[in-house]
Amino acid sequence: MVQTTRRGMLQTFSAGLLLGGLATSPTPAHAKQGYVDAVLADGEPPLPREGSFTMVVLPDTQNYSQHHPETFLAQTRWIADHVESRRIVCALHLGDVTNTSAPVEWERARAAMRQLDGTVPYFMVPGNHDYSAGGRAVDRTTLFSEYFPKADFENLASFGGVYDKEPARMENSFHRFEVAGRKFLVLGLEFGPRKDVVRWANEVAAKHADHEIILITHAYMYFDDSRYDWKSRGGKQSWNPHAYALAKATGDDVMDGTELWDNLVSRHENFILTLNGHVLNDGLGKLVSQTPAGRDVHQVLVNYQMRPNGGDGWLRLLEFRPDGTVQTFDYSPVLKQRNESLQNQFAMALSPVKAS
């Protein structure tokens, strides 16, 4: 297992600050909370290289849905406006769509995401704030599938299916598409996936051995470049799915990052990448681990919610290049800036997937 080296200072934020977003004063960008180690530059990232295409990551929009809906709208409007120029093939939402799971927040989120309808497919998962009244994640009740119903996705060419025990719900789903001669499958799993959901996910992965699989789920990587690992680290890692009332109410029927690695990702030789949000501090992390056959799997945490104004509208662009690498760029269509720090702009060399 190879771990990346962390950069210097980490900023810790209390959960209480996140409920209403962060109030800021008009100070220089580097003096603001959340920008201590930033390398900010004006303008958009360079356009994709010839033969490249882009996937756009939307992590933790909870503060936008509650307090800054104009920012959420600006994000998806920018994606829709740049589908052609950046060859955007999909958008990936990593959960915490809302903050308190209130209907008004779901309505704002739906309005923002619907700006992509008919333009580019988007794939979503719920986060802990999307469960239970007040977003307290005390059980599995959620409005996710009411506001993003299966009917909105099942007629799309990219739609693959949903968790077989909940055929009308979208909390767990998979999506397939081909681009540049490559077959991709995006596997979206609920917050702290249940054991039987992981059983289903294994079946999906096995049936699509010739697809490059990207796992999106809300809680997997931690900010110190390690996976969540309740068994060995317990409460030493904050916000592990096992620590939530949801777990206590279901006989601890949840899986964290290490359990997902052991019971799903490492069991197949076609996962190329995992993506999650959820985690605070600097909200960034990356790790490369090897499967039994020696293939590298890149695992990435990205979350901006601690930054001013609920996140300042940052997106992560994943540029898939013909040489098998992925170049990341972080860009805010609100600030019209990119972040060129080594934690925000880096390359990943993907291991190829053998055709079956």
Instruction: Give the per-residue pLDDT at 32.
Output: 53
Number of domains in the chain: 1
Question: Of residues 155 and 354, which shows the higher confidence score?
Answer: 155
Query: Rounded to whole angstroms, how far apart are CA atoms 122 and 31?
Result: 34
Alpha helices in the chain (DSSP H): 15-18, 62-66, 69-81, 103-113, 144-147, 195-207, 230-233, 245-249, 257-263
The residue written with tokens 């590298």 in the block is: 296
Judge residue 234's burial from the number of C-beta atoms within 10 Å of its C-beta, 0-12 exposed, 13-18 middle, 19 or more buried. exposed
Q: Domain residues for 332?
A: 2-18+27-349
Q: Is residue 355 part of a domain?
A: no
Q: Are 70 and 310 in contact (CB under 8 A)?
A: no
Answer yes or no: is 354 within a domain: no
What's the rounded mean pLDDT across residues 227-234?
Answer: 98
Percent of the chain whose pLDDT exceeds 90:
89
- pLDDT computed for residue 31 by the predictor: 40
The answer to whether position 330 is within a domain reads yes
Tell me: pLDDT of 341 over 90. yes
User: Could you count the other beta carbons within 10 Å of the beta carbon of residue 258?
Assistant: 18
- Tens of pLDDT along 104-163? 999 999 999 999 999 999 999 999 999 999 999 999 999 999 999 999 999 999 999 999
The secondary structure element, H or E, covering residue 42 is strand 40-42
> Given this model, what pLDDT does residue 33 score?
60
> How many Cβ atoms are within 10 Å of 354's Cβ, its own excluded?
11
35 belongs to a structural domain: yes
Number of Cα atoms under 13 Å in the Cβ half of residue 257: 32
Residue 269 sits in a domain whose CATH number is: 3.60.21.10
Higher pLDDT, 156 or 20: 156
Q: In this structure, is residue 99 part of a structural domain?
A: yes
- Spatial CA neighbour of 126 closest among 189, 76, 198: 189
Q: What is the mean pLDDT of residues 35-47?
A: 95
User: Which whole number is the average pLDDT over 269-290?
Assistant: 98
Confidence of residue 36 (pLDDT cuts 50, 70, 90): confident
Contact 29, 38 (CB under 8 A): yes
With respect to residue 160, please indicate whether it lies within any of the assigned structural domains. yes
